[in-house]
């Protein structure tokens, strides 16, 4: 059985190789945030199961079997990261969740998500997660994905910090068609309802 | 040498200005515009330099009048002190980069560095200095920290001529901000939580109402207190001197009438005598000045604390109904002080339509503090109910006319888009300097007109012209408004000065109801001459005439209605 821990090791080794770094116990330990001693122990185990070849003090080389699993987990990790980012999750959260999800997501689902992300890159942002700023409730946080309207409107919004990829928190959305007050870069900005309608955002949960 | 202070709005620029300059400060308009700036002087080493507080702006693209002026001023500037808000480095550095494209020596004051610390932001000013290649000095304008260093490094200011597109600039700004600043998450401070609470409708609306009520009573308390305890006694002490002058002038005759006025029971009555040396100075100094002082003190604190934009957000929906947006609270509140600066400040509204509505509503239903002070003195003795009647009527008219104008007038009314600054403790130096500038403005513009008004009253009465006009106008004044024909004089003088006009009602022995009618009509029917001139400058002749016709029509309509309601006939 391929355990979560085995996948993590193979993934980390693949990543190191991709980046052209030396595949040493120290580097693996750093990547996995474990002690070098436990790495040595695990590498011996993995070698026994035929995932890699391990020569103490020389280094590690993945077998074709090991390489296949390592690459697959690494790919799943990256797809999940991308996916979570399009949902508007913060960077720190994205990595953490992807580390978990990579072990559970079936191959076909991973492929489907990957295709969707690639297609959306070429389309203007839309879909269930993209809504105008006016649709947010008090206290919700979102990422600006696009600003409709001409150059002038974009420029005006930009001067007060409302630009794409900016994180924005709604302080208050005044009733009866009043303005929306948001926090961006720790500063507060009041935006008239019509202008706020043109700011497309994705809610961050 | 000319030093320009430039930066985004709300970065503490005026506090920096107030720190750098002495007491000799002038407010002037940039030639050909109504864009105001403040000018003072400072010393750099042994040299004297002019310091100009350029109106705050976010970019140097000339999209608004204020920005145009800023770009224009840049040409005459020898060095720019760029005031940067440390709590929002990215947005502020955008303007800095634009300044570094203009071939003018720049020095950066990293202001509000204490506030940044509270918010968990640390900025490596040495590194920022290296990256921008101009001197960078952290400052705390409120306490004066860093100012000596700032001044000493002004000669080190450096000019650059970079070239960027908008996107390149944002990219570079983002990179610099990332390189020099470290942010630790902090829990919101009390001021921040208060800031949020006062802008959310549920908590904010009661707070706003409370603020208005407190403001009203504080103004009445300070204004009334200053009058009763300082200015009235002062004039009491001045009375013997006045009587001696009266005797020297022979206790009667034309010159006596003009200088001292009518003696009442053989004595000077400062409120009623109508002489240049009695009522002519009593009205502006004793009756009006205390209230003007109290009003501008309270307004200055409201402005400098950062509350007004929040109030603007809360009233935005309502203001849209009358064709403006939330920031129109600023000209309206300023108009309560004096309609002249009120009209001037209406340019924060973007379109001509909005400005027309703002000025017309101001002219009709926003009495200035001079007028309010006299109304307090005149109607106040009949209790808060009588005062409420005057102001409730004015407010109703304001709303009704606004709704109508918004329906009738063609054109668009843009929306509010503004920064909401954090609450800050006002710096007394800057608040008092502004108060002084405003009081000085009141004294220099009001007193000549008050004196002219008092002089004209005497001349017109002596020559019998007032009686003549009174007869002609009697169908309107007596027939429609239910006032004695002698009250016509007040309406005439009201063209010149509203406070003198309301003051002229004092000796007429009017009933409470008549006082309410007269006060409201005087408020509505025409702006004073100084405001009228301002209207022409801001709106042009044609629109000013339109606006004036609305005022006269409304004055007659509302006056007649009030008469029917209050007097019953």
* Helices and strands (H, E) in chain B, number of each type: 25, 12
B314, B415, B421 member nearest A192 (Cβ):
B415
> In the A/B pair of chains, how many CB contacts fall below 8 A?
96
Residue in B166, B201, B320 nearest the CB of A175: B201
Give the residue from A150, A158, A160, A188 with the most B CB atoms within 10 Å of its CB, the best one to mutate: A188
| A205 burial level (CB within 10 Å; 0-12, 13-18, 19+) | exposed
User: Best interface-test mutation with B: which of A91, A171, A172 has the largest number of B CBs within 10 A?
Assistant: A172
Closest CA to B340 of B494, B536, B64, B522: B536
Distance from CA of B142 to the nearest CA of A (A): 20
Tokens of B392: 């409730």
> B150 with B139: CB under 8 angstroms?
yes
Interacting residues of B501 by C-beta distance below 8 A, sequence separation 6+: B453, B490, B491, B493, B494, B522
Contacting A residues, span 175-194, partner chain B, CB-CB under 8 Å:
175-179, 181, 185-194
User: Is residue A159 helix, strand or coil?
Assistant: helix
Q: Do B199 and A172 touch (CB under 8 A)?
A: yes
Q: Give the integer Cα–Cα distance in Å for B304 and B438.
A: 15
Alpha helices in B100-231 (DSSP H): 113-118, 125-132, 147-153, 166-180, 190-197, 201-226
Beta strands per DSSP E along B223-264: 263-264
Closest CA to B84 of B118, B57, B108: B108
pLDDT of residue B211: 93
Q: What is the DSSP secondary structure assignment for residue A124, as one 8-state letter?
A: P
Query: SS in 3 state form for B432-481?
Result: HHHHHHHHHHHHHHHHHHHHHHHHHHHHHHHCCHHHHHHHHHHHHHHHHC
Does any CB of chain A come closer than 8 Å to the CB of residue B91?
Answer: yes
Cα–Cα distances in Å, from B236 out to B112, B242, B293, B355? 49, 10, 21, 45
End-to-end CA distance of chain B: 69
Is the CB of A189 less than 8 angstroms away from the CB of B417? yes
Using CB atoms, which residue from A161, A174, A186 is nearest to B87?
Answer: A186
B77–chain A nearest CA distance, Å: 24
Q: What is the DSSP letter of A136?
A: P
DSSP state of B261: B
pLDDT tens, position by position, B182-225:
888 878 788 888 888 889 988 999 999 999 999 988 998 999 89
- Judged by CB atoms closer than 8 Å, whether chains meet at B170 and A163 is answered as yes
Residue the block writes with tokens 């409304």 = B554
Chain B residues within an 8 Å CB radius of A158: 166, 170
Contact yes or no for B51/B5 (Cβ under 8 A): yes
A181 vs B330: CA distance, rounded Å: 19
CB distance B58–A194 less than 8 Å?
A: no
CB within 8 Å: B418 and A176:
no
Structure tokens given for B494: 């009201």
Closest residue of chain B to A152, computed from CA coordinates: B63
* The pairing of beta strand A180-184 with beta strand A167-173: antiparallel
Distance CA B146, CA B84 (A): 14
Contact A172 B420 (CB under 8 A): no
Nearest residue to B199 (alpha-carbon basis) of B349, B307, B302, B326:
B307
Q: Per the CB < 8 Å rule, is B417 touching A177?
A: no
Q: Which of residues 105-144 of A touch B (CB under 8 A)?
A: 138
3-state SS assignment for residue B152 = helix
Determine whether the interchain pair A177/B170 forms a contact, defined as Cβ–Cβ distance below 8 Å.
no
- Classify residue B285 by its DSSP letter: I
Per the document, the length of chain A is 205
| Rounded-to-integer distance, Cα A177 and Cα A196, Å | 11
Axis-axis angle for helices B166-180, B125-132 (nearest 10): 150
Phi first, then psi, for residue B175 (nearest 5°) are -65, -45
Inter-chain touch A192–B416, beta carbons under 8 Å: yes
Residue linked to tokens 């009141």:
B442
Per-residue confidence (pLDDT) for residue B210, from 0 to 100: 95
Pairing of strands B47-53, B2-7: parallel
Which residue positions in chain A have pLDDT lower than 50? none
Chain A residues with CB under 8 Å of B119 CB are 186
Closest CA to B467 of B443, B487, B437: B487
Nearest to A195 by CA among B321, B324, B417: B417
Q: Cβ of B192 under 8 Å from any chain A Cβ? A: no
Backbone angles phi, psi at A149, to 5 degrees: 100, 170
Q: How far apart are CA B494 and CA B500, in angstroms?
A: 7
Chain A nearest CA to B431, separation (Å): 23
Structure tokens at A55: 């020569």
Residue of B119, B166, B316 with shortest CB distance to A155 = B166
- Calculate the CA B166 to chain-centre distance: 35
- Give the CA-trace dihedral at B349, B354, B423, B20, to 10 degrees: 30
Spatial CB neighbours of B282, under 8 Å, sequence gap ≥ 6:
B235, B270, B271
Partner A contacted by B317 (CB < 8 A): yes
Please answer yes or no on whether B419 and A160 come within 8 Å at the CB atom.
yes
Q: What is the pLDDT of residue B124?
A: 92
Q: How many residues does chain B have?
A: 569
β-partners of residue A62 are: A52
Of the candidates A159, A186, A190, the beta carbon closest to that of B313 is on A190
Chain B contact present for A156, CB below 8 A: yes
Q: If we measure between CA atoms, which residue out of A131, A118, A123, A119 comes closest to residue A88?
A: A131
Ranges of residues in chain B with a pLDDT under 50 are none
Using an 8 Å CB-CB cutoff, list chain B residues near A179. Answer: 313, 316, 326, 415-416
Cα distance between residue B296 and residue B201, in whole Å = 27
Over the Cα atoms of chain A, what is R_g?
A: 23
d(CA B451, CA B462): 17
B418 interfaces chain A, CB cutoff of 8 Å? yes
Distance (Å, rounded) from C-alpha B333 to C-alpha B318?
16
Q: Are B283 and B450 in contact (CB under 8 A)?
A: yes
CB contact (8 A) between residue B170 and residue A172: no
CA distance B167 to B498: 54
Nearest to B309 among A171, A174, A190 (CB): A190
Minimal C-alpha gap between B101 and chain A (Å): 17
Calculate how close chain A gets to B128, using CA atoms only, in Å: 19
Let me know: does A17 contact A74? Beta carbons within 8 Å: no
B56 in helix, strand or coil? coil
Angle (CA) B509-B510-B512 rounded to 5° is 130
SS3 A184: strand
Tokens of B273: 């005598």
Q: Is B96 within 8 Å of B106 (Cβ atoms)?
A: yes
Closest among B552, B566, B484 to B524, alpha carbons compared: B552
SS3 B552: helix
DSSP state of A125: S
Distance CA B440, CA B105 (A): 34
How far is residue B71's CA from residue B84's CA, in Å, rounded to a whole number? 18
């Amino acid at each position: 059985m391929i355990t979560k821990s085995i996948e993590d090791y193979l993934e980390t080794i693949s990543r190191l190789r991709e980046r052209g770094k030396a595949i040493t116990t120290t580097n693996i330990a750093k990547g996995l945030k474990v002690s070098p001693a436990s790495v040595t122990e695990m590498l011996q185990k993995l070698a026994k199961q035929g995932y890699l070849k391990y020569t103490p003090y020389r280094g590690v080389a993945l077998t074709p079997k090991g390489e296949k699993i390592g690459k697959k987990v690494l790919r799943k990790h990256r797809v999940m990261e991308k996916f979570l980012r399009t949902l508007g999750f913060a960077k720190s959260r994205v990595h953490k969740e992807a580390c978990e999800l990579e072990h559970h997501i079936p191959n076909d689902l991973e492929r489907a998500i990957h295709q969707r992300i690639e297609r959306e890159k070429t389309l203007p942002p839309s879909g269930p997660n993209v809504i105008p700023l006016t649709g947010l409730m008090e206290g919700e946080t979102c990422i600006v994905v696009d600003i409709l309207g001409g150059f002038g409107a974009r420029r005006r919004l930009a001067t007060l910090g409302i630009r794409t990829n900016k994180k924005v928190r709604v302080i208050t959305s005044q009733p009866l068609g009043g303005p929306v007050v948001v926090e961006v870069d720790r500063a507060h900005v009041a935006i008239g309802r019509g202008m706020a309608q043109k700011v497309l955002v994705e809610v961050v949960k | 040498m000319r030093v320009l202070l430039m930066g985004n709005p709300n970065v503490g620029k005026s506090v920096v200005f107030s720190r750098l300059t002495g007491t000799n400060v002038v407010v002037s308009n940039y030639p050909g515009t109504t864009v105001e700036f403040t000018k003072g002087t400072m010393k750099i080493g042994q040299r004297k330099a002019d310091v100009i507080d350029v109106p705050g702006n976010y970019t140097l693209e000339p999209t608004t009048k204020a920005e145009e002026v800023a770009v224009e001023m840049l040409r005459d500037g020898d060095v720019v002190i760029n005031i940067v808000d440390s709590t929002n480095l990215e947005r502020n550095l955008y303007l800095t980069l634009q300044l570094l494209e203009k071939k003018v020596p720049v020095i950066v004051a990293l202001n509000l560095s204490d506030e940044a610390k509270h918010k968990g932001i640390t900025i490596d000013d040495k590194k920022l200095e290296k990256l921008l290649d101009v001197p960078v000095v952290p400052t705390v304008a409120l306490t004066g920290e860093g100012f000596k260093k700032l001044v000493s490094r002004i000669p080190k200011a450096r000019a650059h001529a970079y070239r960027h597109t908008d996107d390149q600039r944002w990219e570079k700004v983002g990179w610099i901000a990332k390189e020099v600043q470290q942010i630790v998450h902090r829990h919101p401070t009390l001021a921040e939580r208060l800031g949020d609470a006062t802008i959310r409708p549920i908590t904010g609306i009661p707070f706003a109402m409370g603020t208005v009520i407190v403001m009203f009573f504080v103004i009445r308390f300070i204004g009334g207190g200053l009058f009763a305890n300082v200015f009235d006694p002062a004039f009491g002490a001045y009375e013997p001197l006045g009587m001696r002058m009266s005797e020297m002038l022979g206790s009667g005759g034309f010159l006596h009438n003009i200088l001292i006025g009518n003696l009442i029971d053989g004595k000077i009555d400062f409120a009623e005598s109508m002489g240049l040396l009695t009522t002519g100075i009593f009205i502006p100094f004793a009756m009006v000045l205390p209230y003007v002082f109290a009003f501008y003190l309270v307004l200055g604190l409201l402005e400098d604390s950062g509350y007004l934009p929040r109030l603007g957000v809360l009233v935005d929906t309502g203001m849209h109904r009358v064709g403006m947006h939330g920031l129109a609270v600023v000209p309206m509140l300023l108009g309560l002080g004096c309609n002249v600066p009120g009209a001037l400040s209406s340019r924060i509204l973007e379109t001509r339509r909005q400005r027309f509505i703002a000025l017309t509503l101001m002219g009709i239903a926003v009495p200035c503090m001079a007028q309010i002070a006299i109304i307090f003195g005149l109607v106040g003795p009949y209790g808060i109910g009588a005062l409420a009647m005057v102001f409730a009527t004015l407010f109703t008219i304001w709303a009704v006319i606004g709704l109508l104008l918004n329906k009738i007038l063609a054109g668009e009314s843009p929306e509010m888009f503004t920064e909401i600054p954090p609450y800050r403790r006002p710096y007394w130096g800057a608040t008092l300097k502004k108060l002084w500038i405003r009081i000085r403005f009141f004294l220099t513009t009001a007193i000549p007109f008050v004196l002219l008004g008092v002089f004209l009253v005497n001349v017109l009465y002596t020559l019998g012209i007032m009686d003549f006009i009174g007869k002609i106008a009697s169908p309107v004044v007596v027939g429609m408004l239910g006032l004695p024909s002698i009250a016509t004089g007040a309406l005439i003088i009201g063209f010149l000065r509203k406070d003198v006009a309301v003051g002229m009602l004092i000796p007429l022995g009017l009933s409470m109801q008549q006082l309410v009618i007269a006060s409201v009509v005087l408020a509505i029917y025409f702006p004073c001459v100084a405001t009228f001139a301002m209207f022409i400058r801001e709106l042009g002749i044609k629109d000013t005439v339109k606006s004036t016709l609305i005022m006269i029509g409304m004055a007659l309509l509302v006056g007649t209605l009030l008469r029917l309601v209050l007097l019953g006939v």
